[in-house]
């Protein structure tokens, strides 16, 4: 995968990586040279949907790889093969999948639910060793209380347990 267009959509990068991995069983070379926006270090989530239903979603809240391109590539493969909620994606499914990539802003600790808006901000909840994250602007999640409840549920945090709240914004990219 060389000679990436400087305007390559992150979702297209995720698809190209996933296609290569499913066909050849290994990670591809990342585009070279990387456009400047792919050289940044930031967290990113890759979401896969099949016929409008979630098929896999894996991401990193904070960067753990050398750049955004590597973050997207690793998370694309993980979303397809390692999301414990779903069986691994197979090569034949790839044409049926729609892919989106959310690039996260840094986490910001907030003091109250009033600082959230489920359409504008994602939320991370923490209690002890448990934490759960929910991306913003998800279909069917319209209130702050729903957003927090689902994030707590994902984390295994019991209702009524005190939590620390963090918010973040995303830049969402979908395939064209």
Domain-by-domain residue ranges, the chain?
10-104, 108-170
Q: What is the C-alpha R_g of the chain?
A: 17
CA angle 137, 49, 93 (to 5 degrees): 170
Name the 3-class secondary structure at 80. Answer: helix
Q: Which two tokens stand for residue 15?
A: 């698809």
Identify the architecture of domain 108-170 in CATH: 2-Layer Sandwich (3.30)
Per-residue pLDDT tens over the stretch 39-66: 999 999 999 999 999 999 999 999 999 9
Q: What is the pTM of this model?
A: 0.88
Per-residue pLDDT at 1 exceeds 70: no
* Whole-number pLDDT of residue 107: 95
Per-residue pLDDT tens over the stretch 124-171: 999 999 999 999 999 899 999 999 999 999 999 999 899 999 999 999
Q: Residues 133, 123: contact at Cβ < 8 Å?
A: yes
Fold of 10-104: Glycoprotein, Type 4 Pilin (3.30.700)
């Amino acid at each position: 995968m060389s000679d990436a267009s400087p305007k390559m959509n992150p979702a297209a990068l995720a698809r190209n990586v996933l296609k290569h991995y499913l066909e050849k069983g290994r990670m591809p070379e990342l585009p070279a040279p990387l456009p400047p926006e792919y050289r940044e270090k930031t967290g990113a989530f890759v979401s896969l949907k099949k016929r409008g239903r979630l098929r896999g979603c894996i991401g990193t809240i904070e960067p753990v790889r050398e750049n955004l391109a590597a973050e997207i590539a690793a998370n694309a493969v993980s979303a397809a093969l390692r999301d414990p909620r779903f069986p691994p994606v197979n090569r034949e499914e790839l044409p049926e999948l729609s892919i989106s990539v959310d690039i996260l802003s840094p986490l910001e600790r907030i003091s109250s639910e009033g600082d959230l808006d489920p359409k504008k901000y994602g939320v991370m909840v923490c209690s002890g060793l448990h934490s759960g994250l929910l991306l913003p602007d998800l279909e069917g999640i319209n209130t702050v209380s729903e957003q927090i409840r689902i994030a707590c549920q994902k984390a295994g945090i019991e209702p009524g347990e005190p939590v620390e709240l963090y918010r973040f914004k995303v830049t969402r990219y979908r395939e064209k």
